[in-house]
Structure 1
Amino acid sequence: MSIYKSEEGRRKSLELYDRQLAKLQLPFSDIYADTSFGKTHIIDTGNKEGRPLLVFHGGNSTSSYNLLLCRFLLADFHIFAVDTIGHPGKSDEVCLSPRGYDYGRWAGEVIEKIGYDRIACFGGSFGGGILAKLICTAPQKVEKAVFIVPAGIHNAVPVSSVRMMIPLLQYRITKKEKYLIKTALYMALHREVLDKDTLDILKDSFEHVKTKVGMPTNIDRRKLSGYHAPTLVIASKKDCLFPAKKVLPRAKQLFPNCKVYELKDSGHMHVLPEKVKGWIVDFLK
């Protein structure tokens, strides 16, 4: 069953994928890895002389959009940006359950297929949940880990998702951008977060993709006995999905070698301050 609402929607979604990837203005190559869960597409880009870094994108989004958010990593790291299987992009349209640990097993296979025994990993939102599941299923494969507003550590009850439904319905009926913005502001809080690329990916998700609302569930502490890698967890104080007050204390309980940071005036969708980007680069180096 397709993850897209129509074949025309699939075409438009992939056109946006290619347009946003072209905005990087960097050379890249496509890797297609055959995993037991399905064929997986990975964008190979960044600094080929730098430390390898596997990057997982957010839910109902794409690696090409995520790379625009992660431009600050491209100069220093050899990036492998993986298209989450069953989400928009160029991997197979095979949906895995967010409740178990299949996403972790899939991610572990991806690491093997790109030729690494261990690799540093970076995951945001849904992608952070995938990284959390990976740490539970194959801790020895994660050299370092950076989580940004992650699922899978301490998810909140998404009350705001219910309030979002009214402006989202208004957007779907009218296609007026003001309702798209109103919907997004429940997660973004600040209008300046919603640049053209962000509005384009939201529009694509709402119009063309069968949106997935289930996030990777909280990981079981008992599955982490073999994990000791350096870990950085960044969460937003006003995140309606994964609030810092829940995520950061549990992260320190889960991960023995863990640094945490709270984004004070940010929601789930945010712009990382330059100093925080610098900390992430230094941590990964």
Structure 2
Amino acid sequence: MAMKPHRISTFKNPTEAENFLEEWNRQIETLNGFSYERLTISTSFGNTRIWAANTHLTDAKTIVFFPGARTCGLFWDMDNALKPFRENHRFYIVDVNGQPGLSAGTCPRLKSSDYGVWATELLDGLGLKKTTIVGASLGGLICLKLCLESPRRVKKAILLNPAGIQSFSTSISNLYYNLLPIVWPTLSNLNKFLNKAILCPPHHAVPTPYRNLLCEYLLYALFNHKFRGDYPAPLEKEELHRLTTEIYLILGEKDLLFPPDETIRLAEEHILTLQGSQILPNTSHGIETSKEALELVWHTINKSVCYAY
């Protein structure tokens, strides 16, 4: 049977979008006082933008970060959250193809090995024989696909509020707050979405300049980006059974999209290489913006934390 052609996400005005996104990322770097090296990796799904740090540290531990849906790579570094990694780690942050970032709009298919193939091509392009991978939400699903496609290339996978294990919650509150800014894309509705579904102020929040940039980015994407790919869905149980990579879970207690208790239940039942889980109190779905979560990632990579199991 012939494969269906890949669907391609688009911006209304690609040149304007590229300028907006380059400037938006530059503002994050300016606030953080740190500039990333820009890399472009050619893949069978088009070019992928990578934000790289410490590429000169060739003997350092390496990490590849995959962000969630409807975001881009530098969401990981809100409020300098990745600063601890800059001291002695070499790391790469990915703008996922098909999402509203600086990578090509070609969307990997979910019900195939596409995400795993694409992520493997990124490791090839970066010259990484084996690395630790970290993913949030959709990024967690991408990590799982990479572990299935190229298990020998992954030291460990650290998943934060991942898609790919359980279905997107159909609770009334989750559907309401996620659909609100999509159906009525106003700043007021976007702030309700951020406060109720993504952040958990005052414990899980970002300073005002970063919050303003979050709103600016999300509103621009809502008005200007047409996503044509597959939405995250759980892997088949037999796929979870086939995982041979060490898997670590870091979950937000208040995650409406993928409630932590169900993720843990399914992971403990179906992922034989699960190393354990940590639940962060007063933390919502946008866990990649939590300094507490990123500190736990750092300790997990450097083997200085024990997981509950």
Tell me the TM-score normalised to structure 2 length.
0.79
Query: 1:240 aligns to what?
Result: 256
Opposite residue 189 of structure 2, the aligned amino acid is: Y
1:257 Cα deviation (Å)?
4.3
- Would you say the 8 A contact 1:4–1:10 is kept in 2? no
- C-alpha change, 1:97 and 1:227, in structure 2 (3 Å) is closer
In the alignment, the residues of structure 1 paired with residue 55 and residue 69 of structure 2 have an alpha-carbon distance, to the nearest angstrom, of 26
Query: 1:86 aligns to what?
Result: 98
Secondary structure of the residue that 1:23 maps to in structure 2? helix
Gaps spanning 5+ residues in structure 2: where? 1-7, 303-309
CA RMSD of aligned residues (A): 2.6
Opposite residue 176 of structure 2, the aligned amino acid is: R
2:265 is equivalent to residue 249 of structure 1: yes
- Would you say the 8 A contact 2:198–2:285 is kept in 1? yes
In the alignment, the residues of structure 2 paired with residue 163 and residue 33 of structure 1 have an alpha-carbon distance, to the nearest angstrom, of 38
Correspondence for 2:193 among 159, 183, 195: 183
- Would you say the 8 A contact 1:130–1:216 is kept in 2? no
Tell me the TM-score normalised to structure 1 length.
0.85
Correspondence for 2:176 among 138, 143, 163: 163
Q: Deviation string for 1:160-210 (max 9, x for gaps)?
A: 45413345544x3xx4x3222113233136344263333233223223222
1:17 Cα deviation (Å)?
2.7
Opposite residue 134 of structure 1, the aligned amino acid is: L
- C-alpha change, 1:220 and 1:136, in structure 2 (3 Å) is farther
- Would you say the 8 A contact 1:146–1:232 is kept in 2? yes
- Would you say the 8 A contact 2:134–2:140 is kept in 1? yes
Opposite residue 63 of structure 2, the aligned amino acid is: L
- C-alpha change, 1:206 and 1:219, in structure 2 (3 Å) is same
Correspondence for 2:32 among 14, 18, 24: 24
Correspondence for 2:65 among 45, 55, 60: 55
Q: Deviation string for 1:121-179 (max 9, x for gaps)?
A: 01111111111111111111111111111111112334445413345544x3xx4x322
2:20 is equivalent to residue 12 of structure 1: yes
- Would you say the 8 A contact 1:224–1:254 is kept in 2? yes
Secondary structure of the residue that 1:262 maps to in structure 2? strand
Opposite residue 59 of structure 1, the aligned amino acid is: A
- Would you say the 8 A contact 2:9–2:225 is kept in 1? no
Gaps spanning 5+ residues in structure 1: where? none
- Would you say the 8 A contact 1:236–1:268 is kept in 2? yes
Percent identity, aligned pairs only?
A: 21
Query: 1:210 aligns to what?
Result: 226
1:15 Cα deviation (Å)?
2.5
Correspondence for 1:111 among 116, 120, 123: 123
Secondary structure of the residue that 1:79 maps to in structure 2? strand
Query: 2:281 aligns to what?
Result: 264
- C-alpha change, 1:255 and 1:41, in structure 2 (3 Å) is farther
In the alignment, the residues of structure 1 paired with residue 233 and residue 218 of structure 2 have an alpha-carbon distance, to the nearest angstrom, of 23
2:14 is equivalent to residue 3 of structure 1: no
- Would you say the 8 A contact 1:140–1:226 is kept in 2? no
- C-alpha change, 1:279 and 1:14, in structure 2 (3 Å) is closer
